[in-house]
Structure 1
Amino acid sequence: MPIVRDPLNPKLSMWHFLAFYLRFWREKMGLSLTQCGEIMGVQRGTVSNFEAGRRRPQEDHMRALDKHYGTGWLFQLLLWFARMAHDPDWGRQLVKYEEEAHIIRTYHGQVIPLALQTDEYTWAYVQSGTPKDFEAAMERRSTRKRSFFDRGTDVEMWAVLDESVLAREVGGPQVMKAQLEHLLKLADLPQISLRIIPFKSGAHLGVDGALQVLSLESRDIAYSAAQNGGRLIETPGEVRELSVKFDRIGAAAASLEASRDIIKRYLESYQ
């Protein structure tokens, strides 16, 4: 059975252009997937995934190709530009990385992280947006939540939330009450660490927006949220900067036990 490739549009993003160009040059040089894999030090299937845009190559892969093809810094520069550019397909790629991560470090100052939301809380935010199909949007978010908990203790979440997340009543009193109760239950799970930054902590770096640092098997990936999308960060130096920023934000948070007390205080207001 022939391999069915995902459609690539080199005009869509630098990642699609890089994947397109990888295949173009391999075929121009008359190399098979296996031969190209030997050059990069990966399996045949990995090369196929690179060329289909299903996986993203790293610096050592591009360095090996530049050396073999005699292209100077061409592929290394294409990788650099792909990492720096806005990726319209960032959402799908982020989900893939979340599924691979064994540690997810996340900070939110406006909303409870998706994996920790009740369905009713999630639905309230879905309805506050402008998708063409609310049901489809809800199903996508529910699938992401299930994929996290289906992995059990194979993945850990270290979540830091600003107290303003608890103060914002989402979906009405009953929805918020159930959400706070849900947070307390989740905080008892061994794979979840939940800490709250109290208002009295004052100014902290989290005011710049939500962020995530995902620890994969061989490297870390970062995600910085923004209006109308976000940006995946794969350059090691910038990922380290976001990781340090997460630690500095967390330094302003209360302890695990004190954070539970803060959640309980808000829950009492709904009794």
Structure 2
Amino acid sequence: MSGEKFGKIIGVVRSTVSRLESGELRLDEKQAAALDQHFATSGHFLRLLTYAKLGHDPDWFKEHVSYEARAFLLKIYELALIPGLLQTEEYARACFEAAGVEDVDAQVAARLARQKTLERSPRPLLWILLSQNVIEWPVGGPEVMRRQLGHLLDATRGSDAILRVVPRTTGATIGLDGAFKILSVAEGDVAYTEAHGGGRLILATQEARQFGIRWDRIGGNALPKDASRSMIEQVMEDMR
């Protein structure tokens, strides 16, 4: 079957079919259902897709970075650490050394290289929610952390960024379940969840939408922008 004909079945252009064949893109639930209907396979493709999502894919982080590099909007929620896109070299090094990785220099260089996505024109919009723990835990020591917080404030000062802190006084929130990010690209939204030993990339539209709702619910408990920045500045002062 030609790529063009196959694309008509699942509602995409031929170039998208090529990207699906190469593994650059993956079938979503709507496309799998369209295949099942066309071939009368009684939900076979949809079942395969479901089982595939339950497994771990070591390329998820790499694929997530490719989405990150072209996203026009990044919604990030962090429970414990400064987002990788906004980490200083000292802070990143302290994280990798604590994790006991084999080649710290290579990992630091890779993390800093990812930050070039913030140099794009136009720069992607950054909407960031941080747990209060993120700004108070002195990763690398007080001086390293103070410089990191200063960098965080500088990098989110423009009109293309929103930085808000979720205070501990909020109590229990859905955000205690863990960190995640939502990446908005031309094709739609995808989500990425953090986890020890590797995360998970969510491409299904409906599931990614649920992470958007989760992000909004966490944001409902966050301090306003100005109050958040004032809290960070106070933490920096206390670290002197």
The two structures have a TM-score, normalised by structure 2, of 0.89
1:156 aligns with 2:101: no
What is the deviation of 1:152?
4.2
What is the deviation of 1:108?
0.9
Which of the two has higher C-alpha Rg?
A: 1
What is the deviation of 1:91?
0.7
Which one scores higher on RCO, CA 8 angstroms, separation ≥ 6?
2
1:180 aligns with 2:144: no
Does the residue aligned with 1:229 lie in a helix, a strand or coil? coil
What is the deviation of 1:260?
0.7
1:261 aligns with 2:227: no
Tell me the equivalent position of 2:219: 250
In structure 1, C-alpha distance between the alignment counterparts of 2:149 and 2:201, rounded to whole Å: 30
Tell me the equivalent position of 2:112: 142
User: Percent of aligned positions with the same letter in both sequences?
Assistant: 38
Tell me the equivalent position of 1:102: 72
Contact 1:90 1:231 in 2 (8 A): yes
In structure 2, C-alpha distance between the alignment counterparts of 1:204 and 1:58, rounded to whole Å: 30
Contact 2:28 2:204 in 1 (8 A): no
Contact 1:214 1:222 in 2 (8 A): yes
1:168 aligns with 2:149: no
Letter in 2 for 1:110: A
Q: How does 1:92-241 map to 2 (within 5 A)?
A: 92-147=62-117, 149-241=118-210
Gapped regions of structure 1 (runs ≥ 5):
1-30
In structure 1, C-alpha distance between the alignment counterparts of 2:168 and 2:206, rounded to whole Å: 31
CA deviation vs aligned residue, 1:93-147 (integer Å, no higher than 9, x gap): 2112212322111111210111111121111112222323222212221121112
Contact 1:33 1:48 in 2 (8 A): yes
Letter in 2 for 1:127: E
In structure 2, C-alpha distance between the alignment counterparts of 1:39 and 1:220, rounded to whole Å: 22
What is the deviation of 1:53?
0.8
How many residue pairs were aligned? 240
In structure 2, C-alpha distance between the alignment counterparts of 1:187 and 1:220, rounded to whole Å: 22
What is the deviation of 1:38?
4.1
Contact 2:75 2:126 in 1 (8 A): yes
Letter in 1 for 2:85: A
Contact 2:28 2:205 in 1 (8 A): no
Distance 1:237 1:45, change over 3 A: closer
CA deviation vs aligned residue, 1:235-260 (integer Å, no higher than 9, x gap): 33332322222111111111100001
What is the deviation of 1:174?
2.3
Contact 2:127 2:162 in 1 (8 A): yes
The two structures have a TM-score, normalised by structure 1, of 0.80
Q: CA RMSD in A?
A: 2.1
Contact 2:28 2:203 in 1 (8 A): no
Q: How does 1:77-88 map to 2 (within 5 A)?
A: 77-88=47-58
In structure 2, C-alpha distance between the alignment counterparts of 1:244 and 1:191, rounded to whole Å: 21
Letter in 2 for 1:215: S
What is the deviation of 1:263?
0.6
In structure 1, C-alpha distance between the alignment counterparts of 2:66 and 2:7, rounded to whole Å: 22
Does the residue aligned with 1:72 lie in a helix, a strand or coil? coil
